Amino acid sequence: MKGILPLWKPKGMTSHDCVAKVRKLFYTKKVGHTGTLDPEVEGVLPICIGQATKIVPFLTDTTKTYKAVVSLGTATDTEDAQGSIIEKKAVGISLSKQILENVLQLFLGEIEQIPPMYSAVKVNGKKLYEYARANEDVERPVRNVTIHKLDLLDFDNDQHRFTIQVVCSKGTYIRTLCVDIGRSLGYPAHMSYLVRTETGSIMQKDTVSFNELEQAGERQQMLLPVSTGLKHLDVLEVDENMKMKVKNGQKLALPEKQLQTDPFTVMFQDDVLAIYQIHPDKPNCIKPVRVFNE
């Protein structure tokens, strides 16, 4: 069995909880998720099963799309609605489409973020949330992330909040983005709602719920092929003669085809055989990164 389960993660479960439940439903230990979602967040959580676990880091590396609500006037220690309020300020601004869109423009492209204290980022071998719970101060590392798209969906002047849609690189903290946007408007802020609507090429419409899984007779039919999780990589098609060399993990001569990504997927017909990359020491050769033996 191999494939990608396009799970719609429900609120109230950690990503690890979801993996544990999928292991039971599919009777296999070989299961891995492709990007953590906080317990109170719902959304697209692709889960790799069997040989598909080999592509976890590649699928994790894809862009993500979120819808989030930025609430002005209060900041929390967790940067979301679950935390304790640490700052308040009366909102004296009337939100408008033009004001908000001007501010959102400031966050497009590569930006710097300081991860929230309540996060799993490690500093000196210890997670930030462990420092936070112990009331210990620690210098947080600055990280570079990329915001590919940032659109205003709607705004509510009475509630001093607005909804944004974000397409971003892996490692982006939407909570922190909401706080920083609020700061640019001159107010403390927090993220009061978040949903992930896309991971790579897997969208909300492609997903299945745990309820649907539990009702299904043939759960394996709900799995997407491994190639779905690799659509962001270029493809090198090989013939029958080359197929066995690839499956045996052999180094190969650099193909004539100009490859648009490195690494890239090697396929025979509709079957993913391996993920290869240009050899770091021999630029005229390609070498395997992952080989699918089944």
Q: Which of the 8 DSSP states describes residue 247?
A: H
Query: Is residue 239 annotated as part of the catalytic site, yes or no?
Result: no
According to DSSP, the residues that pair with 224 across neighbouring strands are 4
Count of structural domains within the chain: 3
Q: pLDDT at position 18, please?
A: 95
When pLDDT is averaged across residues 115-140 and rounded to a whole number, the result is 81
**Are 86 and 187 part of one and the same domain?**
yes
**Are 74 and 181 part of one and the same domain?**
yes
Question: What CATH number is associated with residue 218?
Answer: 3.30.2350.10
Kindly report which listed range (63-67, 128-132, 163-167, 269-273) carries the lowest average pLDDT score. 128-132
**Are 33 and 149 part of one and the same domain?**
no
The continuous run of DSSP H or E covering 130 comes out as helix 128-133
**Are 193 and 80 part of one and the same domain?**
yes
State yes or no: pLDDT of 229 exceeds 90.
Answer: yes
Report the predicted TM-score, pTM, of the whole model to 2 decimal places. Answer: 0.90
Q: pLDDT at position 118, please?
A: 78
**Are 168 and 263 part of one and the same domain?**
no
**Are 180 and 153 part of one and the same domain?**
yes
Tens of pLDDT along 95-125? 999 999 999 999 999 999 988 877 777 888 8
Question: What CATH number is associated with residue 249?
Answer: 2.30.130.10
Catalytic residue among 38, 158, 206, 271: 38
**Are 95 and 57 part of one and the same domain?**
no
pLDDT bin (cut points 50, 70, 90) of residue 133 is confident
**Are 9 and 81 part of one and the same domain?**
no
Share of the chain above pLDDT 90, in %: 78
According to DSSP, the residues that pair with 285 across neighbouring strands are 253
| Region class of 167: left (phi > 0), else alpha (psi between -120 and 50), else beta | beta
State yes or no: pLDDT of 23 exceeds 80.
Answer: yes
**Are 99 and 186 part of one and the same domain?**
yes
**For residues 133 and 55, what is the distance between their CA atoms, to the nearest angstrom?**
34
**Are 209 and 279 part of one and the same domain?**
no
State yes or no: pLDDT of 218 exceeds 90.
Answer: no
Burial class (CB in 10 A: 0-12, 13-18, 19+), 260: exposed
Between the CA of residue 214 and those of 21, 45, 49, 103, 218, what are the distances in Å?
10, 17, 17, 45, 10
**For residues 62 and 102, what is the distance between their CA atoms, to the nearest angstrom?**
27
Strands of the chain, DSSP E = 2-9, 31-33, 42-50, 64-72, 74-76, 85-88, 109-113, 122-123, 126-127, 143-156, 161-168, 189-199, 202-203, 235-237, 252-253, 264-268, 271-278, 285-291
- Domain hosting 103: range is 64-198
Q: pLDDT at position 185, please?
A: 96
State yes or no: pLDDT of 294 exceeds 90.
Answer: no
